[in-house]
Amino acid sequence: MELRQLRAFLAVAEELHFGRAAERLHIAQSPLSQTIRALERDLGAELFARTTRSVQLTAAGESLLGPARVIAAQIEIARTVVRSTASGVTGVVSVGFGGASGYTVISQLARRLEERCPGIELDLRPQTYTGEVLDLVSQGLLDMGIVGLPVPRDVATETVRQESLMVALPADHRLATREELDAADLTGERFVVYPAAHGSSVREMTFTVCHSAGFTPVIAREAPDPYSLLALVGAGVGVAVVVASTTDITVTGVRYVPLRNSPVLPIALAWRRDNPAPAVRRVVDVLRAHVN
């Protein structure tokens, strides 16, 4: 039994007229009749009772009608799925992110995709920071990720945010009432930072800011994500240099103070330039439309 035979059978069964069925299939009536006879020989049963005036389904034909329609519908579903995937309308895209900027960008991106491409699913990989994202993207183990710039040339990017720096302080800290802070004001403080193994741009920026002020930060604790980091700050374990997006997170006992003359940290979505997945291109298009 071939798919073309099932289509011919359905056309005749629904039209109950070989001429109209042939027109519907855009073929001549003689090849259609031959196709139906070949199907009947294959099944070992007559599917239609033919007279010079009418065509009717036999009992065998009636029994085939339901399964034939199911098969035709499944073929159409398969065709739609393949076409949608090939065009990027559907698919799964893995995205690594970490830090407050990552959560903010992912929230906005997911909202835009739900509006414009609901068939694309984001496979979210939290606590994946810049260094890890670049390694995984380069190895083809991750489609995309949120990173701090700059990045290697083999990685394409779209800038999504320009982050300034803040200082997260315990609410009862001696500097917590200040309107702004200089990096030098943090001399002698104990710091809560992201782990070195994560390759966090914010961690690197923390050391850069402190070194520019003439001191090396003393690391009190490391935290795997912004929520844990702020919890440690609120508990009085130390202070933390964070991006401005972190102020969207409210944690009891934590106050944010802007860092005067803060350097700007560009945040971008990164992906491998030669990634062939249509869904990745669709995500990039949605992101660019939102950014622009």
Q: Where does 87-162+266-289 sit in CATH, by number? A: 3.40.190.10
Contacts of 2 (CB under 8 A, 6+ apart): none
Which segments in the chain show pLDDT lower than 50?
none
**What does each C-alpha distance from 192 to 171, 226, 245, 264 come to in angstroms?**
15, 10, 17, 20
Q: What is the pLDDT of residue 89?
A: 66
Q: Helix (H, G, I), strand (E, B), or coil: what is residue 98?
A: coil
**Which among 269, 289, 280, 284 has a CA at the least distance from the CA of 149?**
269
Residue 194 CA, distance from chain mean position:
25
List 191's β-bridge partners, or say none: 219, 239
Q: What is the pLDDT of residue 51?
A: 85
Q: What is the pLDDT of residue 198?
A: 84
In words, the CATH class of domain 3-70 is: mainly alpha
Q: How far apart are CA 240 and CA 271, in angstroms?
A: 29
Q: Is the distance from CB of 180 to CB of 235 less than 8 angstroms? A: no
Do 87-162+266-289 and 165-263 agree at the fold level? Answer: yes
Q: What is the value of pTM for the model shown?
A: 0.68
Q: Is the distance from CB of 91 to CB of 279 less than 8 angstroms? A: yes
Q: Looking at domain 165-263, what is its CATH homologous superfamily?
A: Periplasmic binding protein-like II (3.40.190.10)
Burial (Cβ within 10 Å: 0-12, 13-18, ≥19) of residue 266: middle
Q: Is the distance from CB of 283 to CB of 93 less than 8 angstroms? A: yes
pLDDT tens readout for residues 149-177:
989 888 999 999 999 999 999 999 999 99
Q: What is the pLDDT of residue 192?
A: 98
Domain residue ranges of the chain, discontinuous segments joined by +: 3-70, 87-162+266-289, 165-263
Q: How far apart are CA 274 and CA 292, in angstroms?
A: 23
Q: What is the pLDDT of residue 79?
A: 67
